[in-house]
Amino acid sequence: MPEALLAREAAESADVAARQIAANAAAMAALGEQLRRRRPAFVATCARGSSDHAATYGKYLIERALGLPVASLGPSLASVYREELDLSGAVFIAISQSGRSPDALRLTEAAKRGGALTIGLINDTTAPLAELVDVTLPLSAGPETSVAATKSFLATCIAFLHLAVAWSREPSLMETLESAPDFLTQAGNCDWSPFFQRLEQASSLYVIGRGLGLGIAQEMALKFKETCRLHAEAFSAAEVLHGPLALVRPGFPVLALDPSDEGSDSTQSAARTVASLGADVAYAGPLAVPSTLALPMPADVPAVLAPLVQARAFYGGIAGLAAARGLDPDRPPHLSKVTRTL
């Protein structure tokens, strides 16, 4: 069987990251200066699907690196409910692979009317969204044919990291950004197939993340649904110990993503708790957790890159799981590459 497009496109992620970082260097530096002068009160994001999961990664990154609150705005505020928003003093970031979704366009128009500085993270820079925003930052992912986003998702996360670097001027973050292509390459060599083999007959599972890793957990849960017809839900390490714990039973699959930062202790504790209830737990992190399947990770990954490395390793195996379940990972039923939602 030929290799799935999803897997081939995911394998381009390191090259995409390197290309994007180089191409956007001057624009990011200028934007960083503009943002430091502007001193915005908060950041708002507009996205759906995988792009919104990348925005969740960006939310935690900006909140931690800049100390500014980040809010996700529902695109339907403008497209369906026709609301006007006061975004004076705000930065508004629209994220879209296609740049053509009507709801994203309408909310961006409302953000401009509301006084925000508008930024677009866009893969197709010929799209209407690129003409609408004040600053366009190309994702440089190139054509992505598989319906399930991979390299464009990681490219969006890299763009958020580059933005945090340019805005904060934090030297350690700059070093981390420069190392991103190499770590993504290493992640592509991490074999998670023993975990995926356990899911060939599964009907549902949980994905646990925390902080910067929560958006990646959400993205993995989406990929299980759209490529494998496998019901998956993402929870933070704190949330999963509330109501969701009631569904855990012997053999219930759980994928836990260690954030490699201050959230590691609580994530390890959550993994131990669900494992004690009989769950079949796979753990991706620098430390082994008893009674869990250890998933390989590159050594010495910086904390802000750990979620992206986990996503890249995950992408390397999800297509194989879909095929083992008799599905085409590149052409999920009922879905198309560009979703024109209102």
Tell me the C-alpha distance between 224 and 202, whole Å. Answer: 11
pLDDT at residue 4 tops 90? no
Question: Which residue ranges make up each domain of the chain?
Answer: 5-187, 193-324
DSSP 69: -
Angle at which helices 214-228 and 49-66 pack, to 10 degrees? 170
pLDDT at residue 337 tops 70? no
**Torsion angles phi and psi, residue 64, rounded to 5:** -80, -40
Give the pLDDT band of residue 320 (cuts 50, 70, 90). very high
Per residue in 31-46, pLDDT (tens digit) is 999 999 999 999 999 9
User: Which of 327, 282, 315 is CA-nearest to residue 149?
Assistant: 315
Q: Residue 288: its pLDDT value, please?
A: 86
User: Which of 122, 163, 175, 158 is CA-nearest to residue 32?
Assistant: 163
Per residue in 253-308, pLDDT (tens digit) is 999 999 999 999 999 999 999 999 999 999 999 988 999 999 999 999 999 999 99
- Residue 335 host element (H or E): none
The architecture CATH gives domain 5-187: 3-Layer(aba) Sandwich (3.40)
- The angle at the Cα of 200, spanning 9 to 316, to the nearest 5 degrees, equals 20
Give the pLDDT band of residue 25 (cuts 50, 70, 90). very high
SS (H, E, C) 93-137: EEEECCCCCHHHHHHHHHHHHCCCEEEEEECCCCCHHHHHCCEEE
Per residue in 110-165, pLDDT (tens digit) is 999 999 999 999 999 999 999 999 999 999 999 887 878 899 999 999 999 999 99
Check if 5-187 and 193-324 are the same fold: yes
194 against 99, higher pLDDT: 194
Two tokens at 131?
A: 């003409």
CATH 3.40.50.10490 fits 193-324, yes or no: yes
Strand pairing of 280-284 and 253-257?
A: parallel
pLDDT at residue 102 tops 60? yes
pTM above 0.85, yes or no: yes
Give the pLDDT band of residue 336 (cuts 50, 70, 90). low
Q: Residue 332: its pLDDT value, please?
A: 74
Edge-to-edge strand ranges of the sheet holding 280-284: 231-236, 204-209, 253-257, 280-284, 293-295
pLDDT at residue 339 tops 70? no
- Residue 44 host element (H or E): strand 42-46
pLDDT cut 90: percent of the chain above it: 85
Q: Residue 334: its pLDDT value, please?
A: 62
User: Which of 125, 64, 51 is CA-nearest to residue 93?
Assistant: 51
Asked if 62 and 70 touch (Cβ cutoff 8 Å), the reply is yes
Per residue in 231-254, pLDDT (tens digit) is 999 999 999 988 899 999 999 999
User: Which of 220, 299, 300, 290 is CA-nearest to residue 255?
Assistant: 220
pLDDT at residue 47 tops 90? yes
pLDDT at residue 1 tops 60? no
Q: Residue 95: its pLDDT value, please?
A: 96
